Chains A and B, each alone.
Chain A
Amino acid sequence: MTAIEVQGLTKLYGRTEALRGIDLAVPEGCLFGLLGPNGAGKTTLIKALVGALRPSGGSVRVLGLDPLRQRRQLRQQIGYMPQSPALYEDLSARGNIAFFGGAHMSHGLDKRVEEVLELTDLTGRADDPVHTLSGGMKNRVSLAAALVHSPRVLFLDEPTAGVDPHLRARFWELFRRLTSEGTTVLISTHLMDEAMLCDRLAILLQGKVIADAPPRQLVEHGRAHLRVREQGRTHEVLIGGTPEDLAEALRPYGLRPSVEAVSVSPASLEEVILSLWQEVAQ
């Protein structure tokens, strides 16, 4: 089933076109990424999906419901984490989560608040006022507030902006866990390495989707430069982006015919830093 369906979505702010005919289909249980630079229209699109913004044209359906006309029904089933934490600074983490969760449920709320506090590793600071928490902790409170009512679709607007690599890795573990349990997660980011972790990726630029595919497929569409140094001389050729293309390109240099594909995955800077931290911690 399709969790989110968008057709020809446009949004005008005066004469500025923030969204210029967006088409998207997000299957249920998918970890769907929106990748784009600042100002590409990611936040505008998410706001239209959660019913916080009236589109100028096109149609939107989330879980088969119109986010504006059927917002009361829809809002029980979606969770939203805005770009800024949007929390009450004088209240505790627990107070904030209970307040936002209280809009959806009364029975079992306390138990559920404890569960999401534990899930986001906030139990130790649950009763501290939000203004005493670090930026990363506020993000965790904000995520917990979006999760507390166990939504079927979760909208996350740049949830890892300003978050350290360790916490970011934990956030992504959690997103993956949620999708494995059937939650649809739509996440916006401008970080390429994060985008690679999604099941499917839409690339937004100037209010338009310029590509929509699994990230691996998008990478494979690209061309790669192969440089081979042999006896002091460097040969450079432009090859396709797939492991099979690489194997083919290496055959003239003696790669056995039985080798079908070759790929190299150098560690990202984030992985290097994480492994260093782990080494120090041990």
Chain B
Amino acid sequence: MRRTSLVARRVLAQLAHDRRLLGLSIIAPLVIVYFLKLFFDTMPPGFDVARYAVPIAAFLVHFLAFLLSAIVLVQERTAGTMERMFINGYQRHEIIGGYLLGYLGLATLQAVAALSEALLLFGLSYSAGTLLVLFVVIWLLAIASVMLGIFISTFARHEGQVFPFVPMIIVPSAFLSGLLVDPDRLPAWADWLGRAFPLRYANKVIQEMILPGGSLGDVWLNFLVLVLYIFALLGLAARAMREVE
């Protein structure tokens, strides 16, 4: 645990020093949510803004957390610091755990910022309980995204090789996870494929909670799957991370 916290403190210290990265990862979702507002303002009256606003804010957090963690982990490998960590005695679960703890802080900031702006710009108002669930589900999605980024980073030899995974994983998840259309209207195989993405489960919870009278009791299974997804990715990332060439 001591070494996990050392990795986490090092990740946080690096984030604190890299103001540009820190600023971008908070400001980028805010700017995109603002562009979304401009786009939705052009829609005809009666367009259901609430159906999209919070889910898209969640998607932005998912995308950025995935991309950042994948790139930073690949940088660790190309710079030789990953190998050096292993040779100094840091173990795989300590490195992954440290990254997770370090990025949780950033993911929390991103979740709070994106959710607050979406609520403010689109004039949405929910009960405190609903807001808490929305925050927790976006936060869990961010953790799943960090784990997914760590797992995917093991397949990339350099930063550039992370980007092909964006159209392979992130973009399909936007179409198949119920973010844009209800998955029930998709072909059965596409519906099943969509279940492979963590965004699907987060989106299901969000869609339920933003409905008037929405209840967590109806979607608790999705919540659970999201948590299980995180543990599954944790295991996969730990297995895929190579300590020995």
A interface residue count range (under 10 / 10 to 19 / 20 to 34 / 35 or more): 20 to 34
Q: Is B185 an interface residue (CB 8 A)?
A: no
Contact between B10 and A82, CB atoms less than 8 A apart: no
Please name all residues of chain B whose beta carbon is closer than 8 Å to the beta carbon of A100 when the two chains form the complex.
84-85, 88
Assembly CA distance A82 to B86 (angstroms) = 13
Which among A51, A84, A145 is the interface contact of B244 at CB below 8 angstroms?
Answer: A51
**8 Å CB interface, B68-106 against A:** 79-81, 83-90
Q: Is B6 an interface residue (CB 8 A)?
A: yes
Contact between B84 and A102, CB atoms less than 8 A apart: no
Q: Looking at the complex, which of B13-21, B44-52, B209-217 is the stretch in contact with chain A?
A: B13-21
Assembly CA distance A129 to B18 (angstroms) = 11
Please name all residues of chain A whose beta carbon is closer than 8 Å to the beta carbon of B3 when the two chains form the complex.
102-103
Contact between B10 and A52, CB atoms less than 8 A apart: no
Contact between A102 and B6, CB atoms less than 8 A apart: yes
The distance from the CB of B10 to the nearest CB of chain A, in whole angstroms, is 5
Assembly CA distance A54 to B242 (angstroms) = 11
Contact between A104 and B88, CB atoms less than 8 A apart: yes
Q: Is A76 an interface residue (CB 8 A)?
A: yes
Please name all residues of chain A whose beta carbon is closer than 8 Å to the beta carbon of B86 when the two chains form the complex.
52
Please name all residues of chain A whose beta carbon is closer than 8 Å to the beta carbon of B10 when the two chains form the complex.
88, 91, 95, 99
The distance from the CB of B241 to the nearest CB of chain A, in whole angstroms, is 13
Assembly CA distance A47 to B242 (angstroms) = 14
Contact between A75 and B87, CB atoms less than 8 A apart: yes
Across the interface, name the chain A residue whose C-beta is closest to B16: A90
The distance from the CB of B63 to the nearest CB of chain A, in whole angstroms, is 24
Q: With A72-B89, A95-B13, A129-B17 as given contacts, are A53 and B84 in contact (CB-CB < 8 Å)?
A: no
Assembly CA distance A133 to B2 (angstroms) = 29
**8 Å CB interface, A108-166 against B:** 129, 145
Please name all residues of chain A whose beta carbon is closer than 8 Å to the beta carbon of B6 when the two chains form the complex.
99, 102-103
Q: With A82-B80, A84-B80, A88-B81 as given contacts, are A75 and B88 in contact (CB-CB < 8 Å)?
A: yes
Given contacts A68-B244, A78-B87, A86-B80, 5 further A-B contacts (CB under 8 A): A80-B84, A82-B80, A86-B79, A90-B13, A90-B14
A residues lining the B interface (CB < 8 Å): 47, 50-54, 68, 72, 75-76, 78, 80, 82, 84, 86-88, 90-91, 95, 99-100, 102-104, 106, 129, 145
B residues lining the A interface (CB < 8 Å): 2-3, 6, 10, 13-14, 17-18, 79-81, 83-90, 244-245
Nearest 8 Cβ contacts at the A-B interface? A86-B80, A90-B17, A103-B88, A103-B89, A75-B89, A53-B245, A86-B84, A102-B6
